[in-house]
Structure 1
């Protein structure tokens, strides 16, 4: 692994550790998990689990327009990513596999947060990882901001009724992500 990649992973791990430590020190007596505390403090009055996903429209790779939010025929996984993000690179092949496995009950939308990226690099990422699901470009970061995104990847699970099931900051193991998908796709 290149020294730059190791440094990036070390910085990400340090930031997560410090955020968890700060949250724990501020609320040690509460029985809420650290990650629920983190999501609550980050989101403030923003969208949360149990609320309707905000409606947004983004243009995808190839010019097609996609609408996010509202009731759908399938559950939706929004995957916010950037081309320079190492965890996003690790997650991309698994997302392809999950898109194929759950194609009848789940739509995966990749959303490149282009305001934190460079569009030509994002386009190369799409080709390199042969992404099989629709990819959109959040050019100004407006949609990412609606979910108060602070980390890459950020995955948002939305049920068929358009209700946010969960917002996941950071990388999960393939098994953990699949369990969350099962929870939102199975009746």
Structure 2
């Protein structure tokens, strides 16, 4: 019995610590007056947001639409985003009539002149939305860039991808278009 006593004490301390952290997290959410963003789950509706783009227009994500949508979160300082940009451009040039692509710059952590330089460098013709406060990135729980959400025309999340080789990216886009 004496040998089990330390293990029991450690287990009780761990349970107590976990309970304390859970209570603290709930208090922080209540104190902030905010609710956690919804979980991003495949085959579930995506959260809605509207952002202004470099072209000055507002673009809406979420809900029913005429075509499927890819929402790509990125930043100009991100190396993998530079790798991915030419492939996204090629896919948009090829499938733009069958899908929309909104490129969401996490502007809160970027500089507008760098964003414009990136768009010019890769000759991007799809809308480049500016998430200046980071609220859309937070809503979509962006932990790193690039992250793309493939959303069907009913506003349902079908896939989440990061940088893929061009052939796999095209396969995922074709699946989205045919969903």
TM-score normalized by structure 1?
0.73
1:83 to 65, 72, 76: 76
Residue equivalent to 1:47? 40
Q: CA deviation at 1:134?
A: 0.7
Query: By how many angstroms is 1:95 displaced?
Result: 0.8
**Rounded Cα–Cα distance in structure 1 between residues aligned with 2:136 and 2:171:** 25
Alignment match, 1:66? 59
Residue 159 (structure 1) aligned with residue 152 (structure 2): yes
Q: How many equivalent pairs are there?
A: 144
Q: Partner of 2:109 in structure 1?
A: 116
- Provide the C-alpha distance between the structure 2 equivalents of 1:76 and 1:44, rounded to a whole number of angstroms: 21
| Partner Cα separation in structure 2 for residue 126 and residue 144 of structure 1 | 19
Stretches of structure 1 that go unaligned for 5 or more consecutive residues are 1-42
**What does residue 177 of structure 2 align with?**
185
- Which residue, out of 155, 168, 171, partners 1:176? 168
Q: Is the 8 A contact 1:48 1:167 kept in 2?
A: no
1:44 offset after TM fit, Å?
A: 9.3
Unaligned runs of 5+ in 2: 1-35
User: Counterparts of 1:65 and 1:165 in 2: how far apart (Å)?
Assistant: 24
Q: Which whole-Å deviations, capped at 9, do the CAs of 1:57-105 have from their partners, x for residues lacking one?
A: 0000121110111111100000100001111111111111111111221
RMSD (Å), alpha carbons: 1.6
Aligned residue for 1:140? 133
Of 104, 116, 119, the residue aligned with 2:97 is 104
2:76 counterpart SS class: coil
Q: Are 2:38 and 2:47, in contact at CA under 8 Å, matched by a contact in 1?
A: no
Larger Rg: 2
The TM-score with structure 2 as length reference comes to: 0.76
